Chain A
């Protein structure tokens, strides 16, 4: 994959994400917290104890520098491979020892200069590549992409972080919920992050097992864009609904042959507006736009479909059914939101 030298974090992530199925790669489980001192270490190491009691070959590869008494009591019953100087995990020793499961507390630590990798989570990818199952813990404030937002809530700056894609590559994630004194927004961030990981994993599972599952937990909104539709209100509502439901927002248009140049540029402008509102854009194909939209909506698990209303009058309305009507007739399993033009 990479010829010699150290792999960059991006390359490591691509390797992890790219594996489908996961081949010989070890299984990654993450305990996600959002406040310290809520017993994340205890929950994790208690799992280590239970696994050991069930006869599994369990090793602890990293512990926090200071541990409360209940955690110390658990550690006393477990095999611990001490950290190296500068708090780096001893990857070489762990690879030689080759346990079935390795427990890593505090995933976000940086390693001292001259270490195998710059960060602990990169060390963990080596263990995973070697086929070792890893159970690790992290607090949501140490997620790179969430750092700015968490900082604005807690006022605390953290320097060591883990990319969100690493967490999203986990096979299992478990939230350790905390008492209500912790800032609620932090709690929300952690719950939503866990939900996203579960969603990705569920999609992977359904795809690899060829299962079609009715019902989705994640709302997905599809904006149907045409060159002539007035979509200002549609995009604005889409943005708000997506924000409130934490939904995925997608804008789609059906590519038609022989579209006049003026319409093409109008369409491009509307798609730009949709992108600015946070939507991803999809180009669909098909001789019948209604078929193309519904096929896409089914495949992507769309729960809310937004469409502009076509106003017709006179004979046309009586003889030819408008696309909106045909769409509604076949819109099983989703809401269709019609916008006035």
Chain B
């Protein structure tokens, strides 16, 4: 975290209201807190609010100042987005920003709402925001496995880790399903559709458990000391590299380990570069290694850099073959460190 320079405002504080599904009451709680702050004389504005037609929640915005959304044209249609520049100009003490993982329409200054929020925080504005656990990058594969849904709008873990506070908004799945049935969450049609997949009771329970454990981890993580472990991720052009990177980074975060990603330059070209870029976005240091014998190059690099654990993607199943695959070669060479083979998580 950056120290404030003299004359500069200190960075704003971020508070995240974390839930596990639409309708658990994140926005409601956030607005209630905003009202309380306003009553105490704090200068609060609503930077973005998504009403979803919920009367209780809309009522909670009464009396709060709204910064109007900006209109953005894209492919002949008009979209409304949060106006970060207008909020910066207005410069309140606290901004309320709903739906943290939202992706902005192309043509906006920043691609993601969490990047807009970073700009507000950098300007010294405190931000209250909402998100569901399934939007956390490192859980993307686990959530896919649980729900069969590939969540596209994700937030890197380091962004959430920088939050001053993560509040778990808890509600039991049964109570949530009741709300859904009464139509308090979605419109009727939407409710029926949602009930079929995401809102199955067992799926909700699993997501809720994930959220509770993550919230506990967020609390603990602030106290996690560096363990001295150093993790190296072997990135290739294999599309499963993203899954491998997410999982390895999650393990590194939990263990308090440093994390690196490396490719051994081959024919991978653009795909390799994309995967390294993905790793860098998750705040992983990356390296490009050169050499003929990929396994040897990787293990020697690991040894020189005091790596204690190498993470690889599980080799693809092939029929009868002669000789060892790359993973087997690495395992055979890396006799002085642990090797973790990560396999794809797939929905049943």
Given contacts A216-B206, A328-B341, whether A175 and B254 have CB atoms under 8 Å apart is: no
Decide yes or no whether A8 CB sits under 8 A from chain B. Answer: no
From A195, A206, A329, give the contact of B202 (CB < 8 A): A206
Contact assessment for A217 and B209 in the assembled complex, using a CB-CB cutoff below 8 Å: yes
Chain A residues within an 8 Å CB radius of B331: 309, 324, 338
Q: How far is the CA of A187 from the CA of B344 in the complex (A)?
A: 33
**Interface residue stretch chosen among A16-24, A155-163, A241-249, A251-259:** A241-249
Decide yes or no whether B210 CB sits under 8 A from chain A. Answer: yes
From A29, A195, A212, A332, give the contact of B172 (CB < 8 A): A29
Q: How far is the CA of A180 from the CA of B309 in the complex (A)?
A: 35
Contact assessment for B328 and A325 in the assembled complex, using a CB-CB cutoff below 8 Å: yes
Chain B, residues 157-192, CB within 8 Å of chain A (1/0): the string is 000000011011111101100000000000000000
Chain B, residues 24-62, CB within 8 Å of chain A (1/0): the string is 000000000000000000000000000000000000000
Report how many residues on chain A are interfacial, defined by Cβ distance under 8 Å: 55
**Interface residue stretch chosen among A75-83, A124-132, A197-205, A274-282:** A197-205
Decide yes or no whether B315 CB sits under 8 A from chain A. Answer: yes
| CB contacts between A and B, total, < 8 Å | 159
Decide yes or no whether B128 CB sits under 8 A from chain A. Answer: no
Chain A residues within an 8 Å CB radius of B286: none
Chain A residues within an 8 Å CB radius of B165: 180
From B174, B202, B223, B340, give the contact of A172 (CB < 8 A): B174
Contact assessment for B340 and A215 in the assembled complex, using a CB-CB cutoff below 8 Å: no
Chain A residues within an 8 Å CB radius of B169: 177
Contact assessment for B206 and A215 in the assembled complex, using a CB-CB cutoff below 8 Å: yes
Chain B residues within an 8 Å CB radius of A340: 334-338
Query: Is chain A's binding surface mostly helix, strand, loop or mixed?
Result: mixed
Nearest CB of chain A from residue B39's CB, rounded to whole Å: 15
Contact assessment for A215 and B345 in the assembled complex, using a CB-CB cutoff below 8 Å: yes
**Interface residue stretch chosen among B113-121, B214-222, B290-298:** B214-222
Would you list which residues of chain B between 77 and 118 have a CB under 8 Å from chain A?
none
Chain A residues within an 8 Å CB radius of B249: none
- Which residue of A is nearest B209, CB measured? A217
Q: How far is the CA of A195 from the CA of B207 in the complex (A)?
A: 10
Decide yes or no whether B346 CB sits under 8 A from chain A. Answer: yes
Decide yes or no whether A333 CB sits under 8 A from chain B. Answer: yes
Decide yes or no whether A3 CB sits under 8 A from chain B. Answer: no
Q: How far is the CA of A209 from the CA of B171 in the complex (A)?
A: 23
Nearest CB of chain B from residue A25's CB, rounded to whole Å: 17
Nearest CB of chain A from residue B322's CB, rounded to whole Å: 8
Contact assessment for B216 and A332 in the assembled complex, using a CB-CB cutoff below 8 Å: no
Contact assessment for B219 and A213 in the assembled complex, using a CB-CB cutoff below 8 Å: no
Contact assessment for A215 and B209 in the assembled complex, using a CB-CB cutoff below 8 Å: no
Nearest CB of chain A from residue B42's CB, rounded to whole Å: 15
- Which residue of B is nearest A311, CB measured? B335
- Which residue of B is nearest A327, CB measured? B341
Q: How far is the CA of A175 from the CA of B208 in the complex (A)?
A: 11
Would you list which residues of chain A between 209 and 225 have a CB under 8 Å from chain B?
209, 211-218
Decide yes or no whether A192 CB sits under 8 A from chain B. Answer: yes
Q: How far is the CA of A211 from the CA of B336 in the complex (A)?
A: 42
Q: Among A184, A199, A213, which residue has the most Cβ atoms of chain B within 10 A?
A: A213
Chain A residues within an 8 Å CB radius of B342: 335
Q: How far is the CA of A195 from the CA of B205 in the complex (A)?
A: 10
From B167, B201, B212, give the contact of A205 (CB < 8 A): B201
Contact assessment for B209 and A195 in the assembled complex, using a CB-CB cutoff below 8 Å: yes
Contact assessment for B213 and A218 in the assembled complex, using a CB-CB cutoff below 8 Å: yes
Decide yes or no whether A174 CB sits under 8 A from chain B. Answer: yes
Contact assessment for B202 and A213 in the assembled complex, using a CB-CB cutoff below 8 Å: yes
Decide yes or no whether B304 CB sits under 8 A from chain A. Answer: no
Contact assessment for A215 and B219 in the assembled complex, using a CB-CB cutoff below 8 Å: no
Q: How far is the CA of A329 from the CA of B205 in the complex (A)?
A: 31
Q: How far is the CA of A172 from the CA of B208 in the complex (A)?
A: 12
From B164, B168, B213, give the contact of A246 (CB < 8 A): B213
Contact assessment for A192 and B338 in the assembled complex, using a CB-CB cutoff below 8 Å: no
Q: How far is the CA of A170 from the CA of B183 in the complex (A)?
A: 27
Given contacts A172-B174, A191-B219, whether A335 and B340 have CB atoms under 8 Å apart is: yes
Chosen A-B contacts, 13 in total, with CB atoms closer than 8 Å, are A177-B215, A180-B164, A191-B213, A202-B209, A205-B201, A215-B142, A217-B206, A309-B331, A336-B341, A338-B338, A338-B339, A340-B335, A341-B335
Residues in chain B within 8 A of chain A (CB atoms): 142-148, 164-165, 167-172, 174-175, 201-203, 205-210, 212-213, 215-216, 219-220, 222-224, 227, 247, 251, 254-256, 309, 314-315, 317, 327-328, 331, 334-348
3 shortest interchain CB distances as A-B pairs: A215-B145, A215-B146, A214-B348
